[in-house]
Structure 1
Amino acid sequence: MRVERLSRDKIRFFLSLDDLMDRGIEKEDMWRDIPKVHELFNDMMDQAYQELGFEISGPVAVEVFALPAQGMVVVVTRGRTPSPSDLDELDGDEMYELEVTLEESDQVIFQFNDFEDLVQAAKSLSALIREGGRVYAYRGQYFLVLDTEMELKTLQQGIAVLSEYGEASTITEHVLEEYGKTIWEKDGISGILHYFS
Protein backbone atom coordinates (compact mmCIF):
# COMPACT_ATOMS: atom_id res chain seq x y z
CA MET A 1 0.00 0.00 0.00
CA ARG A 2 1.46 3.34 -1.10
CA VAL A 3 0.25 6.76 -0.04
CA GLU A 4 1.04 10.19 -1.48
CA ARG A 5 -0.15 13.70 -0.74
CA LEU A 6 -1.99 15.46 -3.57
CA SER A 7 -2.74 18.68 -1.69
CA ARG A 8 -3.13 19.94 1.86
CA ASP A 9 -6.49 18.19 2.23
CA LYS A 10 -6.21 15.35 -0.28
CA ILE A 11 -4.19 12.11 -0.33
CA ARG A 12 -4.10 9.13 -2.65
CA PHE A 13 -3.52 5.46 -1.85
CA PHE A 14 -2.60 2.73 -4.29
CA LEU A 15 -3.77 -0.71 -3.10
CA SER A 16 -2.43 -3.65 -5.07
CA LEU A 17 -4.43 -6.85 -5.43
CA ASP A 18 -1.93 -8.41 -2.98
CA ASP A 19 -2.75 -5.71 -0.38
CA LEU A 20 -6.43 -6.62 -0.70
CA MET A 21 -5.79 -10.39 -0.66
CA ASP A 22 -3.61 -10.12 2.46
CA ARG A 23 -6.63 -8.68 4.27
CA GLY A 24 -9.07 -11.18 2.78
CA ILE A 25 -10.83 -8.47 0.78
CA GLU A 26 -12.11 -8.94 -2.77
CA LYS A 27 -12.43 -5.94 -5.10
CA GLU A 28 -16.21 -6.23 -4.86
CA ASP A 29 -16.02 -5.93 -1.04
CA MET A 30 -14.96 -2.28 -1.35
CA TRP A 31 -18.56 -1.55 -2.36
CA ARG A 32 -19.89 -3.15 0.84
CA ASP A 33 -20.11 -1.85 4.39
CA ILE A 34 -18.27 -4.66 6.21
CA PRO A 35 -15.81 -4.70 9.14
CA LYS A 36 -12.83 -5.77 6.97
CA VAL A 37 -13.25 -2.66 4.80
CA HIS A 38 -13.55 -0.41 7.88
CA GLU A 39 -10.37 -1.99 9.28
CA LEU A 40 -8.58 -1.39 5.95
CA PHE A 41 -9.68 2.27 5.95
CA ASN A 42 -8.44 2.71 9.54
CA ASP A 43 -5.08 1.14 8.57
CA MET A 44 -4.89 3.53 5.61
CA MET A 45 -5.56 6.54 7.83
CA ASP A 46 -2.92 5.34 10.33
CA GLN A 47 -0.38 5.06 7.52
CA ALA A 48 -1.36 8.51 6.19
CA TYR A 49 -0.82 10.00 9.65
CA GLN A 50 2.52 8.25 10.20
CA GLU A 51 3.97 9.01 6.76
CA LEU A 52 2.38 12.36 5.92
CA GLY A 53 0.99 13.77 9.19
CA PHE A 54 -2.48 13.66 7.58
CA GLU A 55 -5.24 13.60 10.21
CA ILE A 56 -8.95 13.32 9.61
CA SER A 57 -11.98 14.44 11.55
CA GLY A 58 -15.31 15.69 10.32
CA PRO A 59 -16.57 14.97 6.82
CA VAL A 60 -14.35 12.95 4.48
CA ALA A 61 -14.94 12.20 0.78
CA VAL A 62 -13.51 8.88 -0.41
CA GLU A 63 -13.22 8.09 -4.13
CA VAL A 64 -12.38 4.51 -5.05
CA PHE A 65 -11.13 3.78 -8.57
CA ALA A 66 -10.87 0.10 -9.52
CA LEU A 67 -7.96 -0.54 -11.89
CA PRO A 68 -8.41 -3.63 -14.08
CA ALA A 69 -6.22 -6.50 -12.88
CA GLN A 70 -4.05 -4.12 -10.83
CA GLY A 71 -5.82 -3.06 -7.66
CA MET A 72 -7.41 0.18 -6.56
CA VAL A 73 -6.69 3.85 -6.17
CA VAL A 74 -8.37 5.47 -3.16
CA VAL A 75 -8.47 9.26 -2.95
CA VAL A 76 -9.35 10.72 0.45
CA THR A 77 -10.34 14.38 0.73
CA ARG A 78 -10.92 15.94 4.09
CA GLY A 79 -13.66 18.51 4.55
CA ARG A 80 -13.87 21.31 7.08
CA THR A 81 -12.22 20.81 10.45
CA PRO A 82 -14.91 20.55 13.13
CA SER A 83 -15.04 23.14 15.88
CA PRO A 84 -14.52 22.09 19.53
CA SER A 85 -18.30 22.31 20.10
CA ASP A 86 -18.84 19.87 17.20
CA LEU A 87 -16.35 17.47 18.77
CA ASP A 88 -18.20 17.56 22.10
CA GLU A 89 -21.27 16.17 20.36
CA LEU A 90 -19.46 13.26 18.69
CA ASP A 91 -18.84 9.83 20.14
CA GLY A 92 -15.39 8.33 19.67
CA ASP A 93 -16.78 6.16 16.85
CA GLU A 94 -18.14 9.15 14.96
CA MET A 95 -14.99 11.23 14.51
CA TYR A 96 -15.48 11.29 10.76
CA GLU A 97 -18.28 10.74 8.31
CA LEU A 98 -17.62 9.20 4.93
CA GLU A 99 -18.99 10.04 1.53
CA VAL A 100 -17.87 7.24 -0.77
CA THR A 101 -17.97 7.21 -4.58
CA LEU A 102 -16.81 4.28 -6.67
CA GLU A 103 -15.63 4.21 -10.27
CA GLU A 104 -14.25 1.51 -12.53
CA SER A 105 -11.31 2.62 -14.65
CA ASP A 106 -11.33 1.74 -18.33
CA GLN A 107 -7.57 2.25 -18.67
CA VAL A 108 -4.37 0.57 -17.61
CA ILE A 109 -1.45 2.96 -17.02
CA PHE A 110 2.12 1.76 -16.57
CA GLN A 111 5.17 3.86 -15.78
CA PHE A 112 8.74 3.11 -16.83
CA ASN A 113 11.94 4.53 -15.36
CA ASP A 114 13.60 4.98 -18.74
CA PHE A 115 12.64 4.90 -22.38
CA GLU A 116 14.52 1.66 -23.07
CA ASP A 117 12.29 -0.16 -20.55
CA LEU A 118 9.24 1.13 -22.45
CA VAL A 119 10.72 -0.01 -25.80
CA GLN A 120 11.41 -3.50 -24.42
CA ALA A 121 7.90 -3.67 -22.94
CA ALA A 122 6.35 -2.71 -26.30
CA LYS A 123 8.43 -5.35 -28.11
CA SER A 124 7.36 -8.03 -25.64
CA LEU A 125 3.76 -6.82 -25.75
CA SER A 126 3.61 -6.88 -29.55
CA ALA A 127 2.71 -10.60 -29.68
CA LEU A 128 -0.49 -9.77 -27.74
CA ILE A 129 -1.28 -6.15 -28.56
CA ARG A 130 0.14 -4.49 -31.67
CA GLU A 131 -1.98 -1.34 -31.83
CA GLY A 132 -3.30 1.34 -29.53
CA GLY A 133 -1.72 2.93 -26.53
CA ARG A 134 -0.72 6.48 -25.76
CA VAL A 135 2.74 7.42 -24.52
CA TYR A 136 3.63 10.37 -22.26
CA ALA A 137 6.74 11.69 -20.53
CA TYR A 138 6.22 13.16 -17.08
CA ARG A 139 8.66 13.90 -14.24
CA GLY A 140 11.51 11.97 -15.81
CA GLN A 141 9.47 8.83 -16.43
CA TYR A 142 7.56 7.38 -19.38
CA PHE A 143 3.93 6.28 -19.27
CA LEU A 144 1.97 3.89 -21.46
CA VAL A 145 -1.82 4.22 -21.33
CA LEU A 146 -3.89 1.33 -22.72
CA ASP A 147 -7.66 1.26 -23.01
CA THR A 148 -9.14 -1.93 -21.61
CA GLU A 149 -11.51 -2.60 -24.52
CA MET A 150 -10.02 -6.02 -25.24
CA GLU A 151 -10.52 -9.61 -24.11
CA LEU A 152 -9.91 -10.00 -20.37
CA LYS A 153 -7.35 -12.77 -20.96
CA THR A 154 -5.38 -10.56 -23.39
CA LEU A 155 -5.56 -7.68 -20.91
CA GLN A 156 -4.31 -9.83 -18.02
CA GLN A 157 -1.46 -11.25 -20.13
CA GLY A 158 -0.57 -7.72 -21.28
CA ILE A 159 -0.46 -6.47 -17.69
CA ALA A 160 1.79 -9.40 -16.75
CA VAL A 161 4.20 -8.48 -19.58
CA LEU A 162 4.18 -4.78 -18.69
CA SER A 163 4.87 -5.62 -15.03
CA GLU A 164 8.21 -7.13 -16.04
CA TYR A 165 9.45 -3.76 -17.31
CA GLY A 166 7.52 -1.14 -15.34
CA GLU A 167 4.92 -0.74 -12.65
CA ALA A 168 1.26 0.17 -12.50
CA SER A 169 0.80 3.90 -12.07
CA THR A 170 -1.70 5.77 -9.95
CA ILE A 171 -1.31 8.91 -12.06
CA THR A 172 -4.33 9.58 -14.24
CA GLU A 173 -4.20 10.29 -17.95
CA HIS A 174 -5.71 13.73 -17.25
CA VAL A 175 -2.59 14.64 -15.24
CA LEU A 176 -0.33 13.28 -17.99
CA GLU A 177 -2.18 15.27 -20.68
CA GLU A 178 -2.14 18.46 -18.61
CA TYR A 179 1.37 18.42 -17.14
CA GLY A 180 3.30 15.84 -19.13
CA LYS A 181 4.57 15.76 -22.69
CA THR A 182 2.61 13.70 -25.22
CA ILE A 183 4.96 11.47 -27.23
CA TRP A 184 2.33 9.38 -29.07
CA GLU A 185 -1.28 10.45 -28.81
CA LYS A 186 -2.45 7.24 -30.51
CA ASP A 187 -0.99 3.89 -31.61
CA GLY A 188 2.01 4.26 -29.30
CA ILE A 189 2.85 0.55 -29.39
CA SER A 190 3.04 0.39 -33.19
CA GLY A 191 4.95 3.71 -33.19
CA ILE A 192 7.57 2.32 -30.83
CA LEU A 193 7.83 -0.89 -32.88
CA HIS A 194 8.19 1.11 -36.12
CA TYR A 195 11.00 3.36 -34.87
CA PHE A 196 12.83 1.09 -32.42
CA SER A 197 12.67 -2.44 -33.83
Structure 2
Amino acid sequence: MKIERLSQDKIRIFLTFDDLSERGIQREDLWREMSKLQELFAEMMDQAYTELGFDATGPLAVEVFAMPAQGMVVIVTRTRWDNSSSSQSLHGDEEELDDVYEMEVTLEESDTIVFAFRDFEHFIEAAHTVNGQFSVSGSLYQYNGQWIYHVEPNQLETARLQALIAILAEFGEATSVTTAVLEEYGKCIIAEDAIAVTCQHFKPRNT
Protein backbone atom coordinates (compact mmCIF):
# COMPACT_ATOMS: atom_id res chain seq x y z
CA MET A 1 0.00 0.00 0.00
CA LYS A 2 1.45 3.37 -1.05
CA ILE A 3 0.08 6.66 0.24
CA GLU A 4 0.97 10.14 -1.02
CA ARG A 5 -0.34 13.59 -0.22
CA LEU A 6 -1.72 15.54 -3.19
CA SER A 7 -2.70 18.63 -1.20
CA GLN A 8 -3.50 19.64 2.37
CA ASP A 9 -6.95 18.02 2.13
CA LYS A 10 -6.34 15.29 -0.46
CA ILE A 11 -4.37 12.03 -0.49
CA ARG A 12 -3.95 9.20 -2.99
CA ILE A 13 -3.68 5.55 -1.94
CA PHE A 14 -2.47 2.83 -4.29
CA LEU A 15 -3.19 -0.82 -3.54
CA THR A 16 -2.06 -3.68 -5.74
CA PHE A 17 -4.29 -6.72 -6.15
CA ASP A 18 -1.76 -8.54 -3.94
CA ASP A 19 -2.50 -5.97 -1.20
CA LEU A 20 -6.20 -6.73 -1.55
CA SER A 21 -5.68 -10.50 -1.69
CA GLU A 22 -3.65 -10.38 1.53
CA ARG A 23 -6.70 -8.84 3.19
CA GLY A 24 -9.05 -11.50 1.86
CA ILE A 25 -10.58 -9.30 -0.85
CA GLN A 26 -10.76 -10.62 -4.40
CA ARG A 27 -11.23 -8.31 -7.35
CA GLU A 28 -14.53 -9.88 -8.43
CA ASP A 29 -15.92 -9.41 -4.91
CA LEU A 30 -14.49 -5.92 -4.46
CA TRP A 31 -17.77 -4.09 -4.00
CA ARG A 32 -19.65 -6.91 -2.24
CA GLU A 33 -17.37 -7.41 0.76
CA MET A 34 -18.62 -4.38 2.69
CA SER A 35 -17.31 -5.47 6.10
CA LYS A 36 -13.84 -6.11 4.66
CA LEU A 37 -13.93 -2.81 2.80
CA GLN A 38 -14.82 -1.06 6.04
CA GLU A 39 -11.79 -2.64 7.74
CA LEU A 40 -9.57 -1.81 4.75
CA PHE A 41 -10.65 1.83 4.70
CA ALA A 42 -10.03 2.15 8.44
CA GLU A 43 -6.55 0.66 7.94
CA MET A 44 -5.84 3.09 5.09
CA MET A 45 -6.90 6.08 7.19
CA ASP A 46 -4.78 4.92 10.14
CA GLN A 47 -1.76 4.58 7.87
CA ALA A 48 -2.46 7.96 6.25
CA TYR A 49 -2.51 9.57 9.68
CA THR A 50 0.68 7.80 10.78
CA GLU A 51 2.65 8.55 7.60
CA LEU A 52 1.26 11.92 6.54
CA GLY A 53 -0.64 13.30 9.53
CA PHE A 54 -3.83 13.21 7.42
CA ASP A 55 -6.83 13.48 9.76
CA ALA A 56 -9.86 11.74 8.22
CA THR A 57 -12.41 13.09 10.67
CA GLY A 58 -15.40 14.90 9.16
CA PRO A 59 -17.00 14.43 5.73
CA LEU A 60 -14.92 12.76 3.02
CA ALA A 61 -15.21 12.43 -0.75
CA VAL A 62 -13.72 9.10 -1.84
CA GLU A 63 -12.94 8.28 -5.49
CA VAL A 64 -12.08 4.66 -6.23
CA PHE A 65 -10.51 3.61 -9.53
CA ALA A 66 -10.05 -0.11 -10.27
CA MET A 67 -7.64 -0.92 -13.12
CA PRO A 68 -6.59 -4.32 -14.51
CA ALA A 69 -2.82 -3.90 -14.37
CA GLN A 70 -2.39 -1.56 -11.46
CA GLY A 71 -4.89 -2.57 -8.80
CA MET A 72 -6.94 0.06 -7.03
CA VAL A 73 -6.37 3.79 -6.65
CA VAL A 74 -8.28 5.58 -3.89
CA ILE A 75 -8.36 9.37 -3.73
CA VAL A 76 -9.66 10.75 -0.41
CA THR A 77 -10.61 14.41 -0.06
CA ARG A 78 -11.79 16.20 3.08
CA THR A 79 -14.90 18.12 2.08
CA ARG A 80 -17.56 20.37 3.54
CA TRP A 81 -20.59 19.02 1.70
CA ASP A 82 -23.93 18.67 3.46
CA ASN A 83 -24.64 14.97 4.01
CA SER A 84 -28.41 15.57 4.01
CA SER A 85 -28.34 16.80 0.43
CA SER A 86 -25.55 14.61 -0.99
CA SER A 87 -26.12 11.76 -3.39
CA GLN A 88 -23.97 8.66 -3.00
CA SER A 89 -23.01 6.51 -5.96
CA LEU A 90 -21.63 3.49 -4.14
CA HIS A 91 -23.12 0.37 -5.70
CA GLY A 92 -24.67 -1.80 -3.03
CA ASP A 93 -25.27 -1.03 0.64
CA GLU A 94 -23.05 1.86 1.75
CA GLU A 95 -24.63 2.17 5.20
CA GLU A 96 -22.00 -0.07 6.82
CA LEU A 97 -19.25 2.29 5.73
CA ASP A 98 -21.27 5.29 6.92
CA ASP A 99 -21.34 3.80 10.42
CA VAL A 100 -17.66 4.71 10.71
CA TYR A 101 -17.01 7.47 8.18
CA GLU A 102 -19.30 10.09 6.73
CA MET A 103 -18.43 9.89 3.06
CA GLU A 104 -19.52 10.23 -0.52
CA VAL A 105 -18.07 7.42 -2.63
CA THR A 106 -17.61 7.32 -6.39
CA LEU A 107 -16.56 4.04 -8.02
CA GLU A 108 -15.05 3.66 -11.46
CA GLU A 109 -13.66 0.58 -13.12
CA SER A 110 -11.50 1.13 -16.16
CA ASP A 111 -9.69 -1.11 -18.60
CA THR A 112 -7.00 1.56 -18.94
CA ILE A 113 -3.44 0.27 -18.71
CA VAL A 114 -0.75 2.67 -17.51
CA PHE A 115 2.92 1.66 -17.32
CA ALA A 116 5.91 3.77 -16.35
CA PHE A 117 9.36 3.38 -17.95
CA ARG A 118 12.37 5.00 -16.30
CA ASP A 119 14.35 5.10 -19.53
CA PHE A 120 13.07 5.73 -23.05
CA GLU A 121 15.20 2.81 -24.22
CA HIS A 122 13.09 0.53 -22.04
CA PHE A 123 9.94 1.72 -23.77
CA ILE A 124 11.58 1.19 -27.18
CA GLU A 125 12.33 -2.41 -26.23
CA ALA A 126 8.74 -2.90 -25.02
CA ALA A 127 7.31 -1.30 -28.15
CA HIS A 128 9.23 -3.62 -30.48
CA THR A 129 8.18 -6.65 -28.44
CA VAL A 130 4.52 -5.61 -28.50
CA ASN A 131 4.46 -4.42 -32.12
CA GLY A 132 3.02 -6.99 -34.48
CA GLN A 133 1.64 -9.14 -31.67
CA PHE A 134 -1.09 -6.80 -30.44
CA SER A 135 -3.29 -4.28 -32.18
CA VAL A 136 -3.23 -1.42 -29.67
CA SER A 137 -2.93 2.32 -30.05
CA GLY A 138 -2.02 4.18 -26.88
CA SER A 139 -0.30 7.42 -25.95
CA LEU A 140 3.13 8.24 -24.55
CA TYR A 141 3.63 10.93 -21.92
CA GLN A 142 6.48 12.35 -19.89
CA TYR A 143 5.59 12.78 -16.23
CA ASN A 144 7.76 13.09 -13.13
CA GLY A 145 10.90 12.17 -15.04
CA GLN A 146 9.42 8.97 -16.45
CA TRP A 147 7.93 7.82 -19.73
CA ILE A 148 4.30 6.84 -19.22
CA TYR A 149 2.50 4.59 -21.70
CA HIS A 150 -1.29 4.83 -21.54
CA VAL A 151 -3.62 2.56 -23.50
CA GLU A 152 -7.25 1.49 -23.43
CA PRO A 153 -7.22 -1.92 -25.17
CA ASN A 154 -10.97 -2.34 -25.48
CA GLN A 155 -10.57 -4.55 -28.54
CA LEU A 156 -8.48 -7.20 -26.75
CA GLU A 157 -10.03 -10.22 -25.07
CA THR A 158 -9.02 -11.00 -21.49
CA ALA A 159 -6.31 -13.55 -22.30
CA ARG A 160 -4.67 -11.25 -24.83
CA LEU A 161 -4.96 -8.33 -22.42
CA GLN A 162 -3.08 -10.24 -19.72
CA ALA A 163 -0.39 -11.21 -22.24
CA LEU A 164 0.08 -7.55 -23.19
CA ILE A 165 0.33 -6.56 -19.52
CA ALA A 166 2.93 -9.29 -18.93
CA ILE A 167 5.14 -7.95 -21.74
CA LEU A 168 4.89 -4.35 -20.54
CA ALA A 169 5.75 -5.50 -17.01
CA GLU A 170 9.05 -6.95 -18.29
CA PHE A 171 10.31 -3.50 -19.25
CA GLY A 172 8.36 -1.11 -17.00
CA GLU A 173 6.12 -1.13 -13.98
CA ALA A 174 2.42 -0.51 -13.48
CA THR A 175 1.75 2.92 -12.08
CA SER A 176 -1.16 4.48 -10.23
CA VAL A 177 -1.09 7.70 -12.27
CA THR A 178 -4.59 8.39 -13.59
CA THR A 179 -5.52 9.63 -17.05
CA ALA A 180 -6.66 12.96 -15.63
CA VAL A 181 -3.28 13.56 -13.97
CA LEU A 182 -1.40 12.72 -17.18
CA GLU A 183 -3.54 15.05 -19.24
CA GLU A 184 -3.26 17.92 -16.76
CA TYR A 185 0.33 17.63 -15.53
CA GLY A 186 2.11 15.38 -18.02
CA LYS A 187 3.59 16.24 -21.41
CA CYS A 188 2.10 14.30 -24.31
CA ILE A 189 4.94 13.01 -26.52
CA ILE A 190 3.02 10.73 -28.89
CA ALA A 191 -0.74 11.24 -28.90
CA GLU A 192 -1.75 8.15 -30.90
CA ASP A 193 -0.28 4.82 -31.99
CA ALA A 194 2.68 5.24 -29.63
CA ILE A 195 3.86 1.65 -30.20
CA ALA A 196 3.89 1.85 -34.01
CA VAL A 197 5.34 5.38 -34.12
CA THR A 198 8.14 4.44 -31.73
CA CYS A 199 9.02 1.33 -33.74
CA GLN A 200 9.03 3.37 -36.94
CA HIS A 201 11.53 5.92 -35.66
CA PHE A 202 13.64 4.02 -33.10
CA LYS A 203 15.43 0.68 -33.13
CA PRO A 204 16.16 -1.43 -30.06
CA ARG A 205 19.59 -0.88 -28.52
CA ASN A 206 20.77 -4.46 -29.18
CA THR A 207 20.02 -4.48 -32.93
SS of match in other structure, 2:102: strand
What is the CA distance between 1:116 and its match in structure 2?
1.0
- For residues 125-144 of structure 1, the aligned pairs below 5 Å read 125-144=130-149
Aligned partners of 1:49, 1:23: CA distance in 2, in Å? 20
Q: Alignment partner for residue 118 of structure 2, among 113, 116, 120?
A: 113
Q: Which residues of structure 2 form unaligned runs of 5+?
A: 81-97
Preserved CA contact (<8 Å) 1:130 1:190: no
Q: Does 2:152 correspond to 1:147?
A: yes
Aligned partners of 2:123, 2:54: CA distance in 1, in Å? 35
Q: Which whole-Å deviations, capped at 9, do the CAs of 1:20-49 have from their partners, x for residues lacking one?
A: 111110124332352211111111111111
Aligned partners of 2:104, 2:28: CA distance in 1, in Å? 18
Aligned partners of 1:21, 1:49: CA distance in 2, in Å? 23
TM-score by length of 1: 0.87
Q: Does 2:149 correspond to 1:179?
A: no
Higher strand share: 1
Q: Which residues of structure 1 form unaligned runs of 5+?
A: 81-92
CA RMSD of aligned residues (A): 1.9
Aligned residue identity for 2:51: E
TM-score by length of 2: 0.83
Aligned partners of 1:32, 1:118: CA distance in 2, in Å? 38
State the partner residue of 1:12.
12
- For residues 1-197 of structure 1, the aligned pairs below 5 Å read 1-32=1-32, 34-80=34-80, 96-149=101-154, 150-197=156-203
SS of match in other structure, 1:31: coil
Aligned length: 186
What is the CA distance between 1:67 and its match in structure 2?
0.2
